[in-house]
Structure 1
Amino acid sequence: MAIDSEGGRCVSTDIAAGISPAAALFHSLADETRLRIVARLARGEARVVDLTAELGLAQSTVSKHLACLRDCDLVDYRAEGRQSFYSLTRPELMDLLASAEHLLAATGHAVVLCPIHGTQHGTTHGAADAHSALQAELDHDLAQLDAPTGETNTTGQATS
């Protein structure tokens, strides 16, 4: 799901009200750019200008992703003069990501090859397509949370 326009939040207030804290945490980590920012901040604090230069991203992109991570209390900043230095708030986050890497290695990165969750239409196009497919599935699931209450058919669409 794309970051919404409400101050860079990862999940709108309406959606956030309907998902568990665990789902919100994993959603905040479901974006490759946010993972790259977290990995960089694991090495030490950085300013937005440092992150844009090191990651090759636009300032607005970095700022929006930092806002998402801040909303989840995974990242915070300290002001020094007119500069803000961002850092991770929870060192346990790196333990979680290390565990995820171990799980991926133990399963032979099966999530990338999974015919339902890892690729589009059951073919293996690699991690980029896997990420897109996962993102599309998450977008669909979150859209269902916004749908009016009612019965759903087997495709997950509301019926009248």
Structure 2
Amino acid sequence: MSIMVDECAASTEGVEPGVALFRSLGDPARLAIVRRLASGEARVADLTADLGLAQSTISSHVACLKDCGLVAGRMEGRRVYYSLARPELLEMLAAAEVLLAATGNAVVLCPNYGTDAPVTTVEVAR
């Protein structure tokens, strides 16, 4: 996804990859997994213990992140150790933290997307 400042802001052409990326990180469990993996590789059992989520939940979300190319697995014997597949993801998370700090976490109070906002799904035309 390339963001061009000089193009018409109303255009939705070419935004699908960005929408998919943010959707992949938009689930609380997946974002928690990514944040945990930012500190180092982990097995599903480690993620389950660290995040307090069910093993099946962790496994399905790790599979999703792996399918998106955001997480990679490394076999060691019968164990699989997961890590972030792209260093750019760490940079994006760091930039998001800076943005959240700069806005005073105002997005949490947003009536459309904040923590108390109703859950809705918006589809992008293909």
Question: Which TM-score band applies after superposition, normalised by the shorter structure?
Answer: 0.7 to 0.9
Name 1:96's counterpart in structure 2: 92
Change (3 A) 1:25 1:117: same
Name 1:115's counterpart in structure 2: 111
Offset of residue 94 of structure 1 = 1.2
Which residue, out of 34, 47, 54, partners 1:51? 47
Name 1:76's counterpart in structure 2: 72
Task: State, as a whole percentage, how many aligned pairs show the same letter.
Answer: 62
Report the residue type matching 2:79 in the other structure. Q
Report the residue type matching 2:97 in the other structure. E
Report the residue type matching 2:93 in the other structure. L
The correspondence of residues 1-160 of structure 1 with structure 2, limited to 5 A, is 20-118=16-114, 127=115, 129-130=116-117, 133=118, 136-137=119-120, 139=121, 141-142=122-123
SS at match of 2:81: strand
Larger Rg, first or second structure (1 or 2)? 1
Q: Return the alpha-carbon distance in structure 2 between the equivalents of residues 63 and 36 of structure 1.
A: 13
Alignment gaps of 5+ in structure 1: 1-18, 119-126, 146-160
Name 1:158's counterpart in structure 2: none
Report the residue type matching 2:75 in the other structure. A
Q: How many residues align?
A: 113
Q: Return the alpha-carbon distance in structure 2 between the equivalents of residues 116 and 39 of structure 1.
A: 24
Aligned-residue CA RMSD (Å): 2.0
The list of structure 1 runs, each at least 4 consecutive aligned residues, that deviate by more than 4 angstroms after superposition, is none
Q: Return the alpha-carbon distance in structure 2 between the equivalents of residues 22 and 41 of structure 1.
A: 21
Q: Return the alpha-carbon distance in structure 2 between the equivalents of residues 20 and 60 of structure 1.
A: 29
Q: Return the alpha-carbon distance in structure 1 between the equivalents of residues 112 and 29 of structure 2.
A: 24
Cα deviation 1:16-61 (Å, max 9, x = unaligned): xxx7110000000001111111111111111111111111111100
Offset of residue 68 of structure 1 = 1.0
More helix by proportion, 1 or 2? 1
SS at match of 2:26: coil
The TM-score normalised by the length of structure 1 is 0.64
